Structure 1
């Protein structure tokens, strides 16, 4: 039995402010967080943004695979899927305007309930926001003053989040009360950033911080993620959260799923490993013809595209009329803007059609009839796993079941 949210909020195509949600904090409840996506790849520089988005997603996954080994003492099962795991990625134009594709909404921290915008990211597991001690690198972001909260506790541990694409943040670990749509996570570990690298500064990263929705084993802080803290604090109706990522009424629903946003039953897939939201997909077809077989996937709201190994991505685009590698980079692809390819990804025995609107990321330049495709290759992937980001997730209602360690997909209403 799932529970219907009382509030559904519209997604604004270009968000300039996130309206905080006020919900009375009652025990064992479920509720919704309005989320929005700022901008997109449309317009000039789409291919450059696409390439750096892939680098950023891969850098994030590498960092969490490394954290898993540090936290558990065991190598992550997907470690063999990435060549040169410890090698730093290089490239120009990293993250320039890329964060315009993040899904973000509001949370509050501390006894004063200061509101912050955060990127809701199923591909990571930590919560961090800027500290009031952060200087110019946090300019334009809301900052958190721990001295203003009677529940704040300095854990006396410094941290540095360093990603392979060059982005980083450093600061101090604290614990405090965190509220998400009126649901309270007590003694939640969070990072207070005292220095952001340029990639996280407000002109390139609109949210104040980030809230990971993965599992503790991939936490860089080696701490319980906020959703798991809500479970431990017994404030949720159900240990499930749901996502609708679309052009309207987008939301993160906590404590169940929003029955109004999907139809029919869920296709459930058990997770292969409870670190990332990792599970197999059955294959990919174009016009009814199979082009990619069963493969492990990381389902990631923090990644825009579908990202695969070069051989698999090459096979996908070989079946799409008019598709071609982009100039100077055979890992990114373009398609005719008026193309309506019939692409489907089978998960849990259910075929999920990828709409042309989600697969087409916009013209490579203003007025061009050639558009950026929503799938790219990363040369470091070996074929052991793919990343299925928003290009896939926008076509389904997704349920993320922490209690039963599974992920489910249903048809959007």
Structure 2
């Protein structure tokens, strides 16, 4: 596979000890969770399908941003039909990105829920305006509802008002971000953004004039989103918020970490919270700096690796609820779980069921170390109230790489190390 590395000089100077090797001076941001994919233990097919569509559209949007920002086609683009990564000619891949139809969902999304949301608060502007946001490692920009966001999806969300902030500046640019049910569109500004003592004085912020349907309040309680990927996938082509914090504060470790569990969840900026994990981290190097992309060494069922699912590329994405796998690899995965069935007719394309009584345990291996997924998290719920079939949380996508979302991340303490360009996993305390 083609590997591209971008040197982040300001962060490289701060590539110091791993977070568990040094006491971190960090900022703790409590997170709250809302589970929306099942109702009373019965899956919601509309919510499941929209969750997949939203993730696919978001990732493709990042591919387009990578091309616009670097002039290069992201290597993962070749894994969904865009040219030949070995040919040395990116023309076909660039054309594919430019003209590829954005993923859309044909299902009505009003009043439906689109996943598990991990939200916290940020302050924007002077005087500060406080917003709840989703922290998303699968994107790199900040957007909030703006004063002109009057469509139904914006109703009930707190609006960012640049004219009420003495530190806001209009960048003179619009933006358009893709999601499965439509776009988030608006105007770009710079403004002061802060968490506690951390401040980014001129952070790019999108003030949306329109929200796509799935950002309606009933399905998306946060006001907006904070992207925590690399700048190369920023639609604004501007440093993401955490990178801005590191550039402003040379005492801040270029590391952030997540605990995503049913209680006491948090985002820790500036290292890792040693009270929340035990033992050492296992690190997987980032293979291309855009998404938090690492090699998934193996996919296992009952501790046995599936031979065709070794050393595949994956994106570690806190903004995705499920685990997305290539459609052509799903059959091999579910064949290892007795009683599994294709659920295309009952749930949707790319979904499988397995017996609710199953005791199979799924695990993922990174850098030689395997981490189990709690069977309760792998089981999304029953197909219907009297059904003995439950829906699995590994679902199909049109990509030929894996997207590892919260179904896995709730089982581990995860650290994102910008200074050393790696992702670390440790056992929860």
With the length of structure 1 as denominator, give the TM-score of the two structures: 0.89
Native 8 Å contact 2:169 2:189 kept in 1: yes
Q: Does 1:354 align with 2:370?
A: no
Name the residue aligned to 1:187: 202
Identify which of 357, 376, 398 aligns with 2:395.
376
Whole-Å separation in 1 of the counterparts to 2:198 and 2:387: 47
Residues 286-310 of structure 1: CA deviation (Å, up to 9, x unaligned): 1232212110100001111111112
After the TM superposition, which residues 175-254 of structure 1 pair with which residues of structure 2 at under 5 Å, given as runs?
A: 175-234=190-249, 237-254=252-269
Counterpart CA distance in 1 for 2:70 and 2:253 is 27
Alignment partner of 1:65: what SS?
helix
Distance verdict in 2 for CA 1:100–1:317, change over 3 Å: closer
Q: Give the aligned partner of residue 89 of structure 1.
A: 103
Output one character per residue of 1:315-358: Cα deviation in whole Å (capped at 9) or x when no partner: 11001022111142452011222322121111011111111011
The range that moved more, 174-183 or 39-48, is: 39-48
Normalising by structure 2, what TM-score? 0.86
Cα distance in 1 for partners of 2:258, 2:55 equals 19
Q: Any conservation in 1 of the 2:297–2:366 contact (CA below 8 Å)?
A: yes
Distance 1:95 1:294 in 2: 36
Aligned-CA RMSD value: 2.0
Whether contact under 8 Å (1:46, 1:365) holds in the other structure is no
The corresponding residue for 2:160 is 144
Tell me which stretches of 4 or more aligned residues in structure 1 moved more than 4 Å.
none
Taking a change above 3 Å as real, the CA distance of residues 3 and 319 of structure 1, as seen in their structure-2 partners, is: closer
Q: Is the 8 A contact 1:168 1:200 kept in 2?
A: no
User: Is the contact made by 2:113 and 2:218 (CA closer than 8 Å) also made in structure 1?
Assistant: no
Alignment of 1:311-330 (within 5 A): 311-328=328-345, 329=348
Q: Give the distance between the partners of 2:187 and 2:269, measured in 1 at CA.
A: 28
Q: Is the 8 A contact 2:51 2:115 kept in 1?
A: no
- Residue 364 of structure 1 is matched in structure 2 by 383
C-alpha distance after superposition, 1:216-275 (max 9, x if no partner): 000011111100100111165310000011111111110000000000110011100110
The aligned counterpart of 2:8 is none
Q: CA separation in 2, counterparts of 1:149 and 1:90?
A: 36
1:285 to 284, 292, 300: 300
Displacement, 1:196? 1.6
Q: Kindly indicate whether residue 125 of structure 2 is the aligned counterpart of residue 110 of structure 1.
A: yes
Partners of 2:300 and 2:364 in 1: CA distance: 7
> Any unmatched runs of 5+ in structure 2?
1-16, 82-95
Distance in 1 separating the partners of 2:264 and 2:425: 18
- 1:117–1:92 distance in 2 versus 1, CA, 3 Å: same
**Secondary structure in 1 matching 2:143:** strand
Partner residue of 1:42?
A: 38
Aligned twin of 1:59: 57
Matched, 1:33 2:29: yes
Measure the CA separation in 2 of the matches of 1:392 and 1:401: 19
- Where do 5+ consecutive residues of structure 1 fail to align? 7-27
Determine if contact 2:28/2:266 at 8 Å carries over to the other structure: yes
Q: 1:205 to 1:40 in 2, by over 3 A?
A: closer
Q: CA offsets per residue over residues 41-91 of structure 1, 9 Å max, x none?
A: 223552332222111111110110111001100000100111375223243
Residue 154 (1) aligns with residue 165 (2): no
Between 1:173-182 and 1:246-255, the stretch displaced more is: 173-182
Partner SS state of residue 313, structure 1: helix
Deviates more, 1:198-207 or 1:281-290: 198-207
Q: How far apart are 1:95 and its partner, in Å?
A: 5.1
Task: Give a deviation string over 1:145-202, Cα, whole Å, max 9, x none.
Answer: 1122111111111222233x23212211111110124421110011011222322222
CA contact (8 A) 1:46 1:372 kept: no
